[in-house]
A and B are shown apart, each in its own frame.
Chain A
Amino acid sequence: ILGGKSAKRGNFPWQALTNIHGRGGGALLGDRWILTAAHTIFPKGAGGNNVSLDQLAEEADIFLGHTKVEELHKMGNHPIRRIFIHPDYNPQDEHNFNGDIALLELKHAVTLGPTVLPICLPDTTNTTFYMDGHLGYVSGFGVEKNFISNHLKYVSLPAVAREKCQHWLDNKKGDMPMVFSENMFCAGYPTGKQDTCQGDSGSVFTVLDRGSGRWVATGIVSWGIGCAEGYGFYTKILNYVDWIKGIVRED
């Protein structure tokens, strides 16, 4: 997290620290699911994507319940039973992060408390969260000032209108033809110093629904061009609510 603040315990109780192919983040859903980005499990262009999901589940580390990495490690990891990758995600296509969403099922349900609480999913009829300027908060253990953070950070970023995102991207297209699909949104500032960065992937972009008083996950940290050099791009959770519920409820 660049240009953010240190989170206090209980500020983002859904925040998960993952270590699958390096540092990543995730968010607790219910009491035994972790929502994260698919590319934290199958990185783009990685040659080792021949490993099975079962083996990945066996080797992945998930931590919950603290804002300090060291304390998180001390509290012990939460083993994974299964991994669900969205079928639209293509790890071979380095320029297209469409479908960058995954679910991790924990072997054991976690006991909720002040420092471990789930995030809500958005109501599929409500699209206001993605309107231009709607503020949200992103937390993560990712890079800050060139150093990977040992403390949970957060930053407040506005959602950006699709046209602005596309326009900004088009200007950058010459170098890297990245795909901005309808299953994504962007947030942040075109020239601002506040952004998410490497190591934040999989963490969720959350907004406060003032009507219900609940925090809702609207996006997943997915990709960007550099860090704090423009907008960041996030998986649009609203488009995957049915997929998520289908998996979670079936279990």
Chain B
Amino acid sequence: SSPVPRKLFGEIRTPGYPKPYPNNNISIWDIRVPEGYVVKLTFRYFDLEPSETCFYDYVKIKADKKSLGRYCGQLGSTTGNHPGRKEFLSKGNRMHLAFHSDFSNEDNGTVIPYRGFLAYYQAVDLDECDPNNAAEKDEGPQCQHFCHNYVGGYFCSCRTGYRLQSDHHSCKVECSSELYTEASGYLSSPEYPQPYPEDLRCNYSIRLQKGLSVNLKFLEPFEIDEHQQVHCPYDQLKIQVRGREIGEYCGRVSPGSIETNSNEVDILFFTDESGFSRGWKIHYTSEKIRCPQPVPRDQFTIIRNPQPVYQFQDYFIVSCKTGYNLMEGNRKLMSFTAVCQADGTWHQSMPRCEIVNCGNPTDLTNGAFSYVNQSANNIYQSVITYRCNEPYYHIVTGTGGDRFTCSPEGTWVDQDGQARIPACLPVCGKPVNPITEFQR
């Protein structure tokens, strides 16, 4: 009995081969090749004493705890069991040969020199991925998902969304940190629309650039285990926006479409240890985040070229009607522009429009002014009239006359738009009390 060294090939020969083998010989060979290989044995030369059922001399081949046959005889002999060119293949990496010769090789008193056999074996790669090559019939597949054979071995891999476990064989769903950064896409529960696995702790994160808003649209079918009385006790689909939960869903009624107004959305999916619901699928899209529609604070405010929708980086310009000033607090503004920011807010709040005030009119030396309008104030479109202290002075005006109006620019101007006020000039030669002669 001699163990054959773990080589990739070799030969087995009967003792003394090519000389006739001795009588009363029992030779055993244990062929072993490296793991990942199987043994393939062929007889190059086979010449044993033939007998019925190989009763006298024989070689017995065994592998994988099964007999591969008992052989004897010569090529062309009517009795015996010559192996011919047969290839003996093990399932494992071992093969056992046992040779037995009886006490003689005489036939009718004549010694016939049977020379024995010469056999070659080689290690053949075992395709571990072939289920037919399973060592045990009740063994399952080598890998839960994908099996990859190579010379001398094999390895397993998993489908997308699964992770190979430490046993290098089984696959478990990997959905704890799925990241989506494209402007649009699809995400779904594992195996969708097939029932999702149990014990899931999935986290799908959508992260887009600032200024974009994610919109979620649930597709059909939508099935998550539920309870009639208790809200989502078994499995839950949660949606978080910037860390804040905005909804928890289960059941068979789709949430429809959700506008998140955020560039950061997380979808969490938790399942318990059982259930046969088909899960969910979401088509997400993105658009520039919207800002609230600008609303004037008063009836004198004008929003230039208003748009039906304002989105990130859009802006609007505000002005006032004629005779009104843009004001922010107590400060007068020359202009106003607000830009829609990435967070959906305007970078400045809406100003207000305040009526122009021209202030007190310039006093007229040797004269006075009076208000034409009843309200007697200095606001836009108020009107005053200048006059002189008659009869000692007379008024001299420009071509615009003696009426001054509070202009949109905040100045008092005459009808020609000039700001220069009239002048009171002396009246000459008009004594109030001239001399009167009586006696003639």
Contacts and interface: CB of A to CB of B under 8 A. Distances in A.
B428 interface: yes
A74 B134 CA distance: 141
Interface in A1-54: 7-14, 29-31
B3 interface: no
Nearest to A111: B366
Contacts of B430: 117, 213-215
A154 B426 contact: no
Contact of A9 (B389, B426, B433): B433
A120 B428 contact: yes
A18 to B, nearest CB: 20
A155 to B, nearest CB: 11
B426 A30 contact: yes
A13 B428 contact: no
B427 interface: yes
A232 interface: no
B434 interface: yes
A192 B373 CA distance: 63
Contact of A215 (B393, B426, B434): B434
Contacts of B434: 10-11, 208, 215
A117 B433 contact: no
B392 interface: yes
Contacts of A206: 429
A10 B433 contact: yes
Given A13-B431, A117-B392, A118-B427, 16 more contacts: A8-B433, A9-B433, A11-B434, A12-B431, A13-B432, A30-B425, A30-B426, A30-B428, A112-B389, A112-B392, A154-B435, A156-B437, A208-B434, A209-B429, A214-B429, A215-B434
B393 to A, nearest CB: 6
Given A112-B392, A112-B393, A11 B431 contact: yes
Contact of B426 (A31, A156, A208): A31
B402 to A, nearest CB: 19
A-side interface size class: 20 to 34
A120 B429 contact: yes
Interface string A153-164: 010100000000
Nearest to B425: A30
Interface in A53-110: none
A117 B426 contact: yes
**Which of A7, A13, A14, A112 is most buried by chain B, counting CB atoms within 10 A of its CB?**
A112
A113 to B, nearest CB: 6
Interface in B408-440: 425-435, 437
A121 B429 CA distance: 9
Nearest to A212: B429
Contacts of A213: 430
A120 to B, nearest CB: 4
26 contacts: A7-B435, A8-B433, A10-B433, A11-B431, A11-B433, A13-B431, A14-B428, A30-B425, A31-B426, A111-B366, A112-B389, A112-B392, A113-B392, A117-B426, A117-B432, A118-B428, A118-B429, A119-B429, A120-B429, A206-B429, A213-B430, A214-B428, A214-B430, A215-B428, A215-B431, A216-B429
A157 to B, nearest CB: 13
A14 B425 CA distance: 15
A208 B434 CA distance: 10
B177 to A, nearest CB: 91
Contacts of A212: 429
Contacts of B389: 112
Contact of B428 (A11, A114, A117): A117
Contacts of B431: 10-13, 117, 215
